[in-house]
Structure formats: structure tokens, C-alpha cells
Amino acid sequence: MSQGVGVVGLYVHNQDEALAFYTEKLGFRVHTDARNGSYRWLTVQHPEQPSLQLGLFTPSAPAVDEATAQSLREAVAKGAMPPLVLVVDDVRAAFDRMKALGVEFTQEPVERFGSVDAGFRDPSGNGWKLIQAR
């Protein structure tokens, strides 16, 4: 029997905007884009990690009520969620490429802990760290 994490969910304000960001700027590709009424199950995956999907979900019913959804949107916009980590071969090269594509960085590449890292946020406010593979 095979087990493991298949989808990691991420709250976003606008799924179309998030989809454009993750595919056009970070190089992810669409795995699933399915609708059931007003609900949309949207996942992307990194081309080098086909076994893991990143779910781009809006906080909404049936998972949460509208008041909670609004609180979640506000928390995400403030950067309250823990950062996700994108491992790359060369942080400085990835930084230059992503910056040229319009990604807004919160931290330029810096050497620390025996590696190089940089920080950015997606259009919804979710924090990301670029970390150089050792």
C-alpha cells in the first residue's frame, strides 16, 4: 500500500490570479482544474515533483463560513501563514529570473546557515523562501 501527502493546500484570494502567478512566474503546471457549481478544485505541481500537488483554494463554504473565510483572507494578506520552501539549484539565478518576471521579493539572496536563501510573496500574501540545494 502506498501512502503519503499528495496535496498541500494554500489559500489564495483569486484562483485565476494565483494560477497565472504559479504557472507563468514559478514554472508550475496545472494538474487539476475542476468545478462543481461555484466550487473550484485547482491544483498545480512543480515539473520536477509530480507526486505532490499544491492546491490553490479560496477560503469558502463548505469548509468555512463567510465570517471565517474573511478572517482567513485577511490573515493570508498580512503574511500570517508559514512560508513554503522552493528548493532551487542556484538562488541568485532564480532570483534574477523571477524578478524579471515581476515577482516581488521581500528579501534578496543572502548567505546563511551554509546555504543561500531569498524570500518572496505570492499575490495573495503567502510567503515563500527560495533555498539553494546543497
What total number of domains does the chain contain? 1
pLDDT class for 21, splitting at 50, 70, 90? very high
- Indicate whether 41 pLDDT > 90: yes
DSSP one-letter code for 31 = E
Does residue 19 belong to any structural domain of this protein?
A: yes
pTM: 0.89
Model pLDDT for residues 27-40, shown as the tens digit of each residue: 999 999 999 888 89
The per-residue pLDDT for 80 is 87
Does residue 61 belong to any structural domain of this protein?
A: yes
CATH code: domain of residue 87: 3.10.180.10
Does residue 2 belong to any structural domain of this protein?
A: no
Does residue 1 belong to any structural domain of this protein?
A: no
Per-residue CA distances from 65 to 38, 59, 61, 74 (Å) = 15, 9, 6, 14
- Indicate whether 64 pLDDT > 70: yes
Does residue 73 belong to any structural domain of this protein?
A: yes
Burial class (CB in 10 A: 0-12, 13-18, 19+), 113: exposed
Across 53-60, average pLDDT:
94
- Indicate whether 1 pLDDT > 70: no
Mean pLDDT over all residues of the chain? 93
The per-residue pLDDT for 63 is 84
Question: What is the domain extent for residue 40?
Answer: 7-132
Residue 3 corresponds to which cell in the numbers above?
501512502
